[in-house]
A and B are shown apart, each in its own frame.
Chain A
Amino acid sequence: MSRKQIHLAAHFPGVNNTTVWSDPASGSHIDFSSFEHFARTAERAKFDFLFLAEGLRLREQNGVIYDLDVMGRPDTFTVLAALAAVTDRLGLAGTINSTFNEPYEVARQFASLDHLSAGRAAWNVVTSWDAFTGENFRRGGFLPKEKRYSRAKEFLAATFELFDSWRGDEIVADKETGEFWRPTGDFAIRTDQFDISGRFPVPRSPQGRPVILQAGDSEEGREFAASGADAIFTRHGTLEAGQAFYADVKGRLAKYGRDPEDLKILPAATFVLGDTDAEAQEKARHVRYQQVSPATAIKFSSSCGTGTCPTTTRTARCPRWTRSSGRTRSRAAAPACGCTPTRSPRRTSGGSWPRPSSCPPAR
């Protein structure tokens, strides 16, 4: 019997307090060379994919920009397209928001990225609703919180309709007869959130559609993943919690006509490696001290016990933190949504660390 193979993904660090930016070895978080180095390293190790988080507004605390953590990111689609040029096999996964984007444009971008990477595009679908982020976009804070997942579902379904609007054999390009193509790509979508129609301009891409990832741990997030994602990230780091999560999400697939193997589960962890366990523990302690600067500690403590996110927006609280169990809270050092924990991270055995990549940026 062949052994079950493990899938590995690499999360580009940054934009949270877990990156030890004061160490000169941490390098730039925006220069393309950092992304190139990261991608090439992951590909050399034959990882399945690299993963980029996204947040569409700089974090604030008490109405001013939060200045203690790494900040500044590239545009997700653009940097992934550039990384396609310096890698050959590595999957290219980006976080793209379904609230402050339009399905036609996102489908066009993902289909283009899939062509340009010869079939390596993946999409971490995230939702948001807050007026704070909306201040950077045409629609503003248009979406009520309770509609964020219904918009995400409609958004994803709309993009699937666009991806599937080309079968893949329409381009004939017969120079003799002069027939370039057989017209296709027509769509008309009317839902609660969308009223769009026209013709999709990108021929069917190598994968047909990007691989769909999902990270939300809420009831709605799990249901969303069960209904249409190819993989779900999880922060559950103990065997017991992991098994419970596994059983729960796999159990939701049948009602969508899907088999248990149709949804992969990808738990997250941060590793500190040493030649011996003692060395790893020592390095881990060092990293942890570096992660929490005196200024960061003060910011943490000032928010302890309030149940609100210290770097929250002016208009919205962080849903995950106010909703999470104490255990979950302690396991993630800083989710990329911009929140920091009300308790500091706990070390697990073997020098591995629970942390933010365990908390991809879904809301």
Chain B
Amino acid sequence: MTLHLAVALEGTGWHPASWREPEARPTELFTAGYWAGQVQEAERGLLDLVTLEDTFAIQSSRPFEPDDRTDQVRGRLDATLVAARIAPLTSHIGLVPTAVATHTEPFHFSKAIATLDFASRGRAGVRVRVSSRPDEFALVGRRTAPTVGSAGSVSAGTREELFAEGVDWIEVIRRLWDSWEDDAEIRDAATGRFVDRDKLHYIDFEGPQFSVRGPSITPRPPQGQPVVSALAHREVAYELVGKACDLGFVTPMETADIAGIKAEIPNEPLVFGDVVAFLDESAETARDRKGRLDDRLGRELISDARVFVGTPAELADLVQEWHGAGLDGVRVRPGSVDHDLVRVTRGLVPELQRRGAFRTEYEADTLRGLLGLPRPADRYAA
């Protein structure tokens, strides 16, 4: 089984104090060159894909409302547009921006990701996110925000509805990608027809939150179906991954967690494990650096994912252990991106290559190809 590697790009890194590190370039966060440089570095490391984090509202340290912290990175650019800006500057790596399904139009996003697939010549994906933050609902004002209970979360019923809408949203973008058959454009001079309208399809989706008629205004993208992914921590999200996605990102704390997580995801999509990584040439240096970052944060880093502090070779051990336990790959979240990303691409990757566990050159031109996923037939094709 092939081992896959991804990197999750988020600001100056996943540690909230990472922007204060000597190598960090916080003032460049809103420039194209910053993101292009990170993705080109990931491509030099032959990684399968990068994901680009996004939230609909501005970042917050509180899960359900904005904060007024001044000591962390705030402000961001639209992830899909960042991915598109980078597409012509890269040639092999998959580009997977985050989309917030709850507040966006599936019709717009379907053509956006299809267009990213055209611009990258078959390297587009999307990571779908469901939002239950009341402050994100207020940004659109289209519908009533869910109530956050005293426990600091929305009710199980609300959560289920929002995730069901997420599944519907994915169903619509997928149907729209297929709404033009690959050979719909015929340019038949004899009959004067540019398209064969029998190969264009209404999708006629009807759901509780939206109905979409179709077809898309954008032809079927190069991959047919760009790669759909989601991060999942719990049952409703595992279900969304299994029902609707090609790829899921999960957060085992221990290797022993992996079998149980996989058992909760139906239909066997690809599953990558997330790990927040602080990498240095010696484990002691890494621990010191992580300690310095935590001091600046004022507490130890809390993460939904396993936090790894050590050498690239030690991380390679963990990656192989997780791979052996049934994960298809690992998505590294660099603790401090300007420090840790190169230790992934120039430390972890060569180590895995020495062990014969990771590719030494790109073997495919599309993201589906890198992930070993076939180009799917069009669901509407006769």
Contact = CB atoms under 8 A, between A and B. Distances in A.
A202 B116 CA distance: 21
B32 A72 contact: no
B74 A72 contact: no
A180 B74 contact: yes
Nearest to A297: B192
Interface stretch (B84-92, B151-159, B323-331): B84-92
A240 interface: no
A142 B188 CA distance: 38
A67 B81 contact: no
A85 B72 CA distance: 29
A90 interface: no
Interface string B9-39: 0000000000111101011001110001000
Contacts of A102: 103, 140, 142
A71 B81 CA distance: 24
B229 interface: no
B140 A74 contact: no
Given A21-B187, A196-B138, A78 B217 contact: no
A171 B71 CA distance: 11
B292 interface: no
A118 interface: yes
Given A196-B140, A198-B139, A32 B72 contact: no
B141 interface: yes
B146 interface: no
A22 interface: yes
A213 B157 CA distance: 45
Given A68-B194, A74-B111, A136 B213 contact: yes
Given A171-B75, A198-B139, A201-B57, A21 B111 contact: no
B58 A199 contact: yes
Interface stretch (B195-203, B334-342, B364-372): B195-203
A248 interface: no
A201 B81 contact: no
Interface in A53-70: 55-58, 64-65, 67-70
A175 B19 CA distance: 7
Q: Which of A84, A118, A138, A195 has the most CB of B within 10 A?
A: A138
Q: Kindly state the interface size class of chain B when it binds its partner.
A: 35 or more
How many A residues touch the partner, as a band?
Answer: 35 or more
B88 A36 contact: yes
A69 B32 CA distance: 36
B81 A116 contact: yes
Contacts of B36: 85
A343 B85 CA distance: 42
B74 A181 contact: yes
B161 to A, nearest CB: 15
Contacts of B150: none
Interface stretch (A107-115, A149-157, A227-235, A274-282): A107-115
Given A64-B197, A74-B118, A173-B27, A85 B88 contact: yes
A131 B374 CA distance: 38
Given A75-B115, A109-B81, A112-B78, A21 B66 contact: no
A173 B76 CA distance: 14
A296 B209 contact: no
B31 A296 contact: no
Q: Which of A55, A64, A72, A102 has its CB near the most chain B CB atoms (within 10 A)? A: A72
Interface in B204-263: 209-215, 217-219
Contacts of A171: 26-27, 75
A78 B213 CA distance: 22
A295 interface: yes
A60 B198 CA distance: 13
A32 to B, nearest CB: 5
A200 B77 CA distance: 11
B135 interface: yes
Contacts of A175: 19-22, 24, 26
A9 to B, nearest CB: 21
Contact of A198 (B71, B73, B114, B138): B138
A139 B210 CA distance: 8
A21 B75 contact: no
Interface string B79-107: 01110111111000000000000011101
A86 interface: yes
A289 interface: no
Nearest to B26: A173
B289 to A, nearest CB: 15
A186 to B, nearest CB: 9
A195 B217 contact: no
Contact of B217 (A73, A196, A199): A73
Nearest to A34: B118
B278 interface: no
A112 B81 contact: yes
A178 B71 contact: yes
A330 to B, nearest CB: 23
Given A116-B81, A175-B19, A79 B193 contact: no
A270 B24 CA distance: 50
B212 A135 contact: yes
Nearest to B76: A201
B112 A75 contact: yes
A31 interface: yes
B19 A173 contact: yes
A70 B19 contact: no
Contact of A67 (B107, B116, B180, B193): B193
- Which one of B86, B105, B217 has the greatest number of beta carbons of chain A within 10 Å? B217
Contacts of B215: 58, 65
Given A72-B195, A82-B116, A201-B76, 12 more contacts: A65-B195, A75-B114, A75-B218, A78-B84, A79-B84, A85-B36, A104-B140, A112-B81, A179-B71, A181-B75, A198-B57, A201-B58
Interface of B: 19-22, 24, 26-27, 30-32, 36, 55, 57-59, 66, 68, 70-78, 80-82, 84-89, 103-105, 107-108, 111-112, 114-116, 118-119, 121, 135-136, 138-142, 180, 185, 187, 189, 191-197, 200, 209-215, 217-219, 296
16 contacts: A21-B187, A31-B118, A70-B194, A75-B114, A82-B87, A113-B78, A113-B81, A135-B213, A138-B210, A173-B26, A180-B73, A195-B141, A201-B59, A201-B74, A203-B30, A294-B192
Interface of A: 21-22, 30-32, 36, 55-58, 64-65, 67-75, 77-79, 81-82, 84-86, 100-102, 104-105, 108-109, 111-113, 115-118, 135-140, 171, 173, 175, 178-183, 185, 194-203, 293-296
Closest 7 CB pairs of A and B: A295-B192, A293-B192, A81-B84, A82-B119, A201-B58, A135-B213, A78-B115
